[in-house]
Amino acid sequence: MLLAIDSGNTNTVFAVFDDAGKRGEWRAATNVNTTADEMGVWLLQLLSLSGLRATDIRAVVIASVVPATVFNLRQLSHRYFRCAPMVVGDPDVDLGLGLLVDHPDEVGADRLINAISGHDTYGGPLIIVDFGTATTFDVVDGDGNYCGGAIAPGVNLSLEALHRASAQLPRVAVGRPRSVIGKATVPAMKSGIYLGYVGLIEGLVHRIVEEFGAPMRVIATGGLAPLFAEATEVINVVDPDLTLRGLLILHQRTLARRASAP
C-alpha cells in the first residue's frame, strides 16, 4: 500500500491507497513543531481504526508547500513505515511534465501534482482552480505542460483579514447569501465575500482563456470548491481527490520509469 501525504499551509492530508483505490484519508492541522513521533502515534491509531497496520505501508510519497515540515515527514516515513519517501522536489523525482515558467523552482508542489493529475484524468488544455489557503488558478496545456497561472488570497484568509482590519465587522462563515443586497452587516459581508469571489473566479477564468487562445476545461478542487461551483457555470468539474490522486499517479509513473531504465 502507498501512503500519500499532501502537506499544505493550513492542513496536512494523509491517504492510503491500494490496488483497489483509496482505503482511508485523514486530515491534521499543519504545524512545523509537530514531531515525527507525534504524527506517528496519531496516524497509527487512525490506521488501526480502518483495519490497517504500519506494515501494510510499503511506500510513501510526499508533497509539501511548507519546507519546514519535510524533515519530520521523512522521519515519520523511515521510523514508522521503514521506507525512504518519494518527495516532490527531490532531484531524483521526475514529474514528467514541462515547466513553461520563468522560475520552475518557485512553483508549489501541490500545483505541479494537480497539473499531473488533471492532465492524466481530463486531458487538456485545463485551468485548475484549487481552493486552499490561497486560491490558485493553474494552466495546463494540451501536452500536459505546466504553463503558470494566478494566485489570489483564499476565501477564509480574506474573511479573517476583513474581520481583523475592521473594528465593527464580525467574523463570519463563508456561505451563499440569500440576496446580493445585504440588509444588515453580516448578510452584506457574506454577499461581498461569496459573490465577490464568484466574480473573481469568472473574471480570471475568462481572462486566462482569452490570453491562452483556446477553449479550456475548468477543474475545481479543495474544500470550498463545491460551494462556489454551484454559483457559476465556468467550473466544469469538481474533483476533491485531484491532489491525492496526483501523488498516486506520480508514484506509479516513477516506479515504471525506474523499472524500464537500463
Cβ contact 155:224 at 8 Å: yes
Burial 133-169 (b: 16+ CB within 10 A, else e): bbbbbbbbbeebbbbebbebebbbbbbeebeeeeeee
Residue 13 labeled ligand binder: yes
Check the annotation: does 259 bind a ligand: no
Please list the active-site residues: 110
Q: Does 8 count as an annotated binding residue?
A: yes
Q: Does residue 185 have a known ligand-binding role? A: yes
Name the β-bridge partners of 14. 5, 26
Q: Is 191 annotated as a binding residue?
A: no
- Is 111 among the annotated ligand-binding positions? yes
232 labelled ligand-binding: no
CA pair distance 232, 174, nearest whole angstrom: 16
Strands 126-131 and 134-140: antiparallel
68 is in an annotated binding site: no
Binding site annotation covers 98?
no
Q: 9 a known binding residue?
A: yes
User: Which residues are documented as binding site for K(+)?
Assistant: 130
User: Which residues are documented as binding site for ATP?
Assistant: 6-13, 133
User: Which residues are documented as binding site?
Assistant: 6-13, 108-111, 130, 133, 185
